[in-house]
Structure 1
Amino acid sequence: MSEITMTICLLLLFFFLLSSGIWVAFSLMAVGMAGMALFTEAPLGDVLATTVWGASNGWALAALPLFIWMGEILFRSRLAEDMFAGLAPWLTYLPGRLLHVNIFGCGIFAAVSGSSAATAATIGKMSIPELAKRKYPQNMIIGTLAGSATLGLLIPPSIILIVYGVATEQSIARLFIAGVLPGILLMVLFVGYVVIWSLLHRDAIPAGEATLPLKEKINRARRLIPVSLLIGGVIGSIYTGLASPTDAAAVGVLLALVLSWYTGTLTRENFLEGLLGATKTSCMIAFILAGAAFLTVAMGFTGIPKMLAAWIGTLHLSPYALLGALTIFFIILGCFLDGISVVVLTTSVIMPMIEQVGIDPLWFGIFVVIVVEMSQITPPVGFNLFVIQGLTGLNILKVAYAAVPFFMLLLAGLGMIVAVPQIVTVLPNMMGG
């Protein structure tokens, strides 16, 4: 049987398993087992046991549950309320006014949560009622939240960058640093869009509230100090080389617990809920990674990735043409799978192609994350859309429509890092290693 026929058979099996409601991790393992049993003579049981164990005991994975737990602690704290109070007085003169709280709030929370859905839920719970009460346009409230919450995947510490680093054996510390400038770039694009939209629709933006004296603004800004210290502690310790990502994650959990205690939200109930939530999410991701690792090894035995890489080589595609094709592929895949599943499912097949055309795997990690961000706000499985639908009770298509301009801005940001790769690579190269 030819490799193309094998590939089609395994893809059909995978989509059948997913559509039948079987967990992603089980689907990945089943496809790998089918591929090895039908198309190779390798010892299936031995390979399954050693691969799953090897994928489960990597030291880099230890950062994952810690960063997730940090996000869970902060999700239950008064962080969002403090950010709104600290940011709002400084945005009075910026066109769009309090709509920018969504953007800056999501950017700040993304730097301490690592999760897009957690960012959307935490900031949305606070900002949607406040902005609606002040009569801001509903589409802009939803759009700024949906778009900005995707920053949780990119601005370090990012859970999906840890997953990509583990799956492709890239330095997680360098991936974290690589995500900083693209994250800031996207925030600038979002702010710029809101400013231009607000200048073109002046009547849609409600009048600003009474301007506070500078002393009061500074007093309220003090509520941003704890979260600023938390971000500085986590990212600064990685960037300066004082701590590995895993060590920094432990520092983050400790600081998050202190911050939660300081704000009076560290109750026994919240502590246990956060711990349980982090355990569930971490187990799900670790299980998917184990399934993907086995599928990667199984595909190696079948020879499919090498065949696809060789086939791509015969097409003589330029790096830009390959990236264009992969962008469409990832967006379509992201319509049906969550971001982590997309990354772990595709890396084994796609990395040989990437290396074939000479694309930097570190840069490609940020590229993939931005495309996955785009898929977070595309129906039918855009996680951010579901979170915002749950917060607002609106139709999912209405939420998706409000997010369209921010989808296009993410696409523009993607084009910028393709045109100027140094946006991604300059900080990791300065960091070295």
Structure 2
Amino acid sequence: MLEKEILRSFIEYPDLIDEFLDKISLKAFSNEALYYLKIINELKDKKLLSLSVFLENVPRAKQSEDFFIELISANVNPLVCDLIPLLVKKYQLEMQEKIAQKLLSGVNANEVLELDLLSKEMEIENKSIKNLNEWLKYYENKPKLAKTPTNLSFIDNAFNGGFELGQLMLISGDAEAGKTTLALQILENISKSKKVAFFSFEFSVDSYLKSVEEQKKKLIKDHIFIINDGYDINEIVANIKRLYKLGVRFFLIDSQMRIEVNSKGFSNMEEKESFKFSSLAKLCHSLEIFIMLIIQTSKTDKDSPTGSKKGEHEASIILRIEKNPPDKRDYSQKESEFDEFSRSLILKKNKQNGKHFKGKIAFNPATRLFSDYESKVKKTEYVDMDDIQKELKTNLDVDIF
């Protein structure tokens, strides 16, 4: 009868409705209660709310239902706002029961569920309602977000000095264009001042360790954590939380297609694929961390991750790296499909400061490092001897007067 008493009291004391709803989320009400609350609010806004007018606005078919009959006969409470704690408890007990059922289902399905995410469903009180003055004070006292430089000028210039925490960055691009190479270079540069983690799902840890040794990379090895197991999204979330407690704030996951999601509870592949991005985006915001996720895109849609339009929406930053046509001035690239020494980098989405760009960046195949195109080291150009001989022959055939 609690919901009916609250609704009945709203009809008699409309001035208390806003005060009540400012302190509690609408999700505390059942769908039946929300139906009548909508009618009550509409009449209140029109200043027409009374019991008789309310009765006139409820369809006859609804008036024979038990909920409506109990609502009309419920007690009127002039201290209706005192019922808020009771409504909160009622909602939390109902959610507790649902969570218990989910946990039991997870046990039966041999699936480990994320308890922190489930417990957030029990949060109900409105905590974010502030007037402008309160928000300004909050912003004034809030610690300013520090920027972490990547020491790659083409990245740091675009983000006015580096990355801010609390963001999900998607990295897409042509096959073999260097998505993982660029992301690892960013991560390794950041590791010189911060702790980072690399979820190495696409290639073996041995391959990465070999590259570190061969290229003689100068890294702070205690700052880099490597995970090569646990592909399920719930395992990934759990591992990120464990690493967070160790001080890690920057993460690289390679790649979207390796992340697994249990099909149970999803009606289609779109929902299942989107769950990956929504889970990681929520984690970025709640923990204030930075995640780089390498994604795959289709030839017809280079903006959205494969299988999920929502993935594009969830991201704060989207970078794309593409191959360039071979340099016609370089004879060594005469038969090449693409320019071995450069790539095009496109910043397609940037919620950090709104900047966008598309430009050329240099790539050194020997060191496998990217750099600013204008400051790249001049490479040795090789010439085709057949072309030189043809040119010499042509010159010798010319008559000189």
TM-score by length of 1: 0.22
Write 1 or 2 for the structure with the bigger share of strand: 2
Write 1 or 2 for the structure with the bigger share of helix: 1
Greater RCO, CA 8 A, separation 6+: 1
Indicate the structure (1 or 2) with the bigger Cα radius of gyration.
Answer: 2
